[in-house]
């Protein structure tokens, strides 16, 4: 059965909508911005690889911190558990972004009948 993973973002203190990651990236040094953009391209490639394999599809959303993607739908529960590869440098930036911007991310998984 397919599994939908929804990504939900909020501020830790509920002070308002979370800062979008691209706005945070704009505050980084030019060198860090360059490194982030390279890491983001690699990260998007991993996601595209999963799509190309038929493991998942993207569902557009109204708002997320990262882009206009609100959910993934994985082809089955086992594939959802396995997930996709992560670029380690991108993940470092992502974790830093969440901490510095005081963002809480929740992933809600549901089976689609």
Sort 58 into a burial class: Cβ within 10 Å, 0-12 / 13-18 / 19+. Answer: middle
pLDDT band at residue 7 using 50, 70 and 90 as cut-offs: confident
Residue 107 lies in a domain: no
| pLDDT value of residue 65 | 52
Residue 51 CB neighbour total at 10 angstroms:
13
pTM of the entire predicted model: 0.86
Residue 50 lies in a domain: yes
Mean pLDDT of the chain: 90
DSSP string, 51-80: HHTTSEEEEE-S--SSSSEEEEEESSHHHH
Residue 13 lies in a domain: yes
Q: In what order do the strands lie in the sheet with 56-60?
A: 56-60, 69-74, 3-11, 103-111
- What total of structural domains would you count in the chain? 1
| pLDDT value of residue 67 | 52
Residue 112 lies in a domain: no
Q: Domain range holding 15?
A: 3-102
For 30-83, the pLDDT digits (tens) are 999 999 999 999 999 999 999 999 999 988 765 455 554 578 999 999 999 999
| Tokens coding 22 | 């691209």
pLDDT band at residue 113 using 50, 70 and 90 as cut-offs: confident
Residue 64 lies in a domain: yes
Query: Residue 17: pLDDT above 90?
Result: no
Residue 75 lies in a domain: yes
């Amino acid at each position: 059965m397919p599994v939908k993973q929804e990504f939900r973002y909020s501020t830790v203190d509920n002070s308002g909508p979370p800062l979008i990651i691209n706005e945070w990236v704009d505050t980084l040094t030019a060198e860090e911005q360059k490194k982030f953009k390279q890491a983001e391209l690699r990260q998007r490639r991993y996601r595209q690889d999963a799509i190309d394999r038929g493991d998942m599809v993207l569902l557009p959303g109204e708002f997320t911190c990262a882009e206009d993607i609100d959910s993934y739908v994985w082809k089955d529960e086992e594939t959802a558990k396995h997930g996709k590869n992560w670029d380690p440098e991108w993940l470092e930036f992502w974790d830093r972004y969440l901490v510095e911007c005081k963002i809480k991310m929740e992933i809600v998984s549901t089976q689609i009948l």
